[in-house]
Amino acid sequence: MFASGGNALVKADAYSAAISSAMTEKLWSVFDIYKPQEYNKLFRTKAQQGKEWMLWLRSMMREEPLGDEMGYFHEDTYIVDTIVVQDTVASPGVGNPISITIDASRIDPNTNKFYARENFIVTIPGTEDQVQIKNVDRTNYTLDLYPVLATATIPELTAGMELGITNGAWAAGTDGPDKAQRGYKKYEYYTQTFKEAIGAEGSQLAKDQWFDAYADDGQTLIGWYTPATIDMEYRMMLQEGGAYLFGQPNTNNLKQTTPDGESNITYMTEGVVPQIRKRGFVMPDPMASMVVEDYFDISNYLISQSLTYSTVSGMAGKAQRDNIDQLLIDYIGDKSGGTDFTRTLNGMFGKNGESATEMGAYFGFGLLQLGGTQIALQTLFDLSNPKTFGAKDYNFNEYMLVLPIGRIKDSKSGKEFDNFSSMYRAHAGTNRKYRVWKFGGAGNTDVSIDSIDRVNCGALANHGLRFMGANQTIGIFPEAA
C-alpha cells in the first residue's frame, strides 16, 4: 500500500471492472500523494532518479494557493543603514568639518530618503575617531561631519567608502532626531504553467500494474493511477525542479499562440540560483581550490545578515558533496594526526549460514559546524541527473546552495510566510496544483476512443517560486573568483 495522507494507493486487479470503466475525472495524479518517499518508489520502478528538488519542497508542505499569475512581497532594505560616500573629498585639516554627498546606493527608491540623521555619530574607518553629523540636506543628499575631538583630523574620504553610524548625542532641551526611515522593496514573482503529454500502445494497459485510490474510509474507490502516466509525471517534475532551481523571468516578451489565434505572454518563474546571484552571497570558488576554512565565510556572511537560525541546509551537487567529504577527511587527518574512520558492521553475507561482522569504512559527513553555524549537508540529485543538469558538458554538480529554512515577515503587511515556498494557482474551490487533464484511448472505457489502439494522456501544473530573504542565502559556484 502506498500512503497518500488520508488517501491510499493499492495495486488494482488487472481484470477489475474499475479499470474497464475509468473516467477522465477519476484519473489519479501521483503528485496527490503527499509523502514523496512513496512516489519515489513509483519512479524508481522505472529506473528514474528520485528525491528531486520538487519532492523535497513538497515533503515540507511548503505550498500555498495564489489567485493570480503574479504575486508579490515586501522586504526590508534596512532598519539601520550606513553612509556611503559618493565622491572623494580631501582631508579638511585639524579640527575642521568635511562635507560629503550620499551615494545613490543609500537612497531609498521608494521614498528618496536616506537613513543618516542630525546629531548621530560616525566612527571614521581606520581610526577610532568620532565625528558628528550636522547640516543634513535631504534635497541635495549632503551632510557635514564635525570631529568630536578638536585635535582630530578627518582623513581623505574616498568614493565608495562606507561609514557606520555608531553613536548619537543631544544637548539638554533640544528636540529629538528626525523620524527614522525604514527602507523596503517590493518583489514580484510569477507562476509558470507546466505541461506534459504521453502516448502508449493500448496493450500496455494489460501489461503494467494499475493502482486504485481510496478515500479516507479505506472503502470508497475515488480514482485510479495508471502506469501510462508515470513517465509523463516524472518528466513534468523535472520541468518544475529545473524552473525552481535555474528558471529565469521572461523579460524578452516571449509569447505563444493559442488555437484561437491569441498571442499570450509566457510567464516564467525565477529560480533559486538566479535570485541568489541577484540578492544573496556568491562564493566564486572553483571546487579544486576550496579549503575547509572557506566554510567559515558562510558563517560570517550569515551572521552579517542577522540570520537567527543556527542550522541551515547545505544542498550540494554530488561532486561538491564528495569534495566536502574529502576536504574534511584530509583536514581532520592533518589536524589530529590520523583519525579512525572504520566501524564494525553486520556482514552482508552470512558465514557458514550464520551472521558475521565485518570492518567497514565510513567517510560521510552529515553536519558541518563552523563559526557558530551548522550546515546540514544533503545531496541535490537534480544536479547529477545525466539527462538534465548532470549532462557531461555541465558543471552544475559542483554547485552548492546554502538555504536557511524558516519564516519571514512581510515588511509592509506584517504577515509571516515560509522563506521559500511553492505557490500554485487556485481560486473559488478549484486549483491547478496538478491535473491529469486528458485521457483517451483503446479499451472498454467510457472515455473517447482513438482511431488506433493507443492511449493518450496529458498533465498540467501551474506553480511559481516565492523566495523571501534571499539576502540570507549563499551560492557556492565553480567559477573563478
Rounded Cα gap, residues 294 and 459, in angstroms: 44
Residues 6+ apart with CB under 8 A from 112: none
165 with 207, same domain: the answer is: no
Residue 8 lies in a domain: no
- Judge contact between 222 and 114, C-beta under 8 A: no
pTM: 0.70
Residue 11 lies in a domain: no
177 with 203, same domain: the answer is: no
169 with 195, same domain: the answer is: no
200 with 144, same domain: the answer is: no
170 with 235, same domain: the answer is: no
Residue 475 lies in a domain: yes
Rounded Cα gap, residues 326 and 359, in angstroms: 20
Residue 457 lies in a domain: yes
62 with 192, same domain: the answer is: yes
Which amino acid makes up residue 341? F
Per-residue pLDDT of the chain (481 residues; tens, 9 = 90+): 223 333 343 434 433 333 333 333 444 455 554 344 445 544 444 434 445 677 677 767 777 777 777 787 787 766 788 999 999 999 999 999 999 999 998 887 777 888 899 999 999 999 999 999 999 999 999 999 999 999 999 999 999 999 999 999 999 998 888 877 666 778 888 888 888 777 666 555 555 555 555 556 666 655 555 666 667 777 888 888 899 999 999 999 999 998 899 999 999 999 999 999 998 999 877 776 777 777 778 888 888 887 766 678 888 888 888 888 777 777 666 555 555 555 555 554 455 555 555 555 545 566 777 777 888 888 888 888 888 888 989 999 999 999 888 888 888 788 888 888 888 887 766 777 777 655 554 443 444 444 445 666 777 788 888 888 888 899 999 875 4
Question: How many Cβ atoms are within 10 Å of 99's Cβ, its own excluded?
Answer: 14
Q: Which three cell numbers stand for residue 304?
A: 552579517
- Whose CA is closest to 47, among 319, 198, 195, 230? 230
Residue 30 lies in a domain: no
158 with 257, same domain: the answer is: no
- Whose CA is closest to 77, among 305, 310, 297? 305
The CATH number given to whatever domain includes residue 412 is 3.90.1690
The order of strands in the sheet holding 373-379 is 281-284, 474-477, 400-403, 311-316, 373-379, 367-370
73 with 131, same domain: the answer is: no
User: Burial letters for 436-458: b for 16+ Cβ neighbours within 10 Å, e otherwise?
Assistant: bbebebbeebebeeeeeeebbbb
Rounded Cα gap, residues 215 and 4, in angstroms: 10
207 with 283, same domain: the answer is: yes
467 with 442, same domain: the answer is: yes
Residue 16 lies in a domain: no
Residue located via cell numbers 522593496: 185
188 with 93, same domain: the answer is: no
Residue 32 lies in a domain: no
164 with 209, same domain: the answer is: no
* Burial class of residue 183 (count of CB atoms within 10 Å of its CB; 0-12, 13-18, 19+): buried
**Which long-range contacts link 309-312 to residues 24+ away (Cβ below 8 Å)?**
309/404, 309/405, 309/406, 310/372, 310/373, 310/374, 311/373, 311/374, 311/375, 311/376, 312/373, 312/374, 312/375, 312/376, 312/402, 312/403, 312/404, 312/405
Residue 219 lies in a domain: no
Full residue range of the structural domain in which residue 99 is found: 80-181
Q: Per the structure, how many domains does the chain have?
A: 2
